[in-house]
Chain A
Amino acid sequence: DAGVIQSPRHEVTEMGQEVTLRCKPISGHDYLFWYRQTMMRGLELLIYFNNNVPIDDSGMPEDRFSAKMPNASFSTLKIQPSEPRDSAVYFCASSLTSGGRGEQFFGPGTRLTVL
C-alpha cells in the first residue's frame, strides 16, 4: 500500500482565498483524522471521521474550516476564507480499528502558507 496520500504537499495562497487540502487514507482503514501542526500550538486534532461520518469536530477552529469525507477513499479540508494565522502543516492520518485498537498512520502533510 502507498500509505496515506496528501495533496498538495505545499500550498501558498493569499489571504481571503479558498484553500482545499486533500487526503486519501490507506485502503480499508475506517478512521480518518485531520491534524494541524504549528510551532506555537504543537499538533492539534481538528476533526475525525469513522466510516465517512464526522465523529468529533470540536477541534475545528472556526466556521471558516470545513471537512468532508464523501467516500472511504477521499477526504477534504477546506478553509474559506484563508487567513495568515492558518499557516501551518496539515496532516491527515488513518487507522484500522478492528479488534478495538488503532495505530494511526500519518500522511506526509501539506505545508500551507497564507500571505
Chain B
Amino acid sequence: AQSVSQHNHHVILSEAASLELGCNYSYGGTVNLFWYVQYPGQHLQLLLKYFSGDPLVKGIKGFEAEFIKSKFSFNLRKPSVQWSDTAEYFCAVESGTYKYIFGTGTRLKVLA
C-alpha cells in the first residue's frame, strides 16, 4: 500500500533558524506531491506543489521543496523561519487517482 512518512513529529526552532522537514513516500510510479500548512485552528492551505519539471519548487511565504526521485523524497525547506510559521505541516502524495495520501504531519513551533 502507498504510504507517506514524515519522520519529524515535533520540531522546535528559534526565529531565523533554517528549517527542513522530511517527507518520504512509497510508490514507484508517477506522483504529484504537495505540502500543506495548517495554522492553529484553521484549515489546510496549500504551500506548494510538484507535478513535473524542475524538481526544486518554490511556494508561498518563502518555502521551497525539492523532489528527489531516487530517494522518494520531497523535503520542505525555509532558510529563515518566523514566529508566524508556527503550524502543522502535511506532506501529501497523489498517484493518478486524485486521492491524496497524507503524512502524519509535523508540528513546528517557532520561538520568538
Partner of A42, one of B94, B97, B102: B102
How many A-B pairs have beta carbons closer than 8 Å: the answer is: 43
Contact: B99 with A48, CB < 8 Å? yes
Q: Which residues of A contact B98 (CB under 8 A)?
A: 31, 48, 50, 95, 97, 102
Contact: B100 with A104, CB < 8 Å? yes
Q: Which residues of B contact A107 (CB under 8 A)?
A: 43
Within 8 A of A (CB), among B86-112: 90, 94, 97-100, 102-105
Chain B contact patch, size range: 20 to 34
Contact: A106 with B45, CB < 8 Å? yes
Q: Which residues of A contact B44 (CB under 8 A)?
A: 43, 91, 93, 106
> How far, in angstroms, from A104 to B44 measured CA to CA in the complex?
10
Q: Which residues of B contact A56 (CB under 8 A)?
A: 97, 99
- We find that the number of chain A residues with CB closer than 8 angstroms to chain B is 21
Contact: B34 with A42, CB < 8 Å? no
Contact: B34 with A45, CB < 8 Å? no
A interface, over-half SS: strand
Q: Which residues of A contact B11 (CB under 8 A)?
A: none
Q: Which residues of B contact A50 (CB under 8 A)?
A: 98
Kindly state whether residue B42 has any CB partner on chain A within 8 Å: yes
> How far, in angstroms, from A34 to B94 measured CA to CA in the complex?
16
Q: Which residues of B contact A109 (CB under 8 A)?
A: 43
Kindly state whether residue B27 has any CB partner on chain A within 8 Å: no
Contact: B99 with A45, CB < 8 Å? yes
Kindly state whether residue B51 has any CB partner on chain A within 8 Å: yes
Q: Which residues of B contact A45 (CB under 8 A)?
A: 99-100, 102
- Which of B's residues lie within 8 Å of A, judged by CB? 32, 34, 36, 42-46, 49, 51, 90, 94, 97-100, 102-105
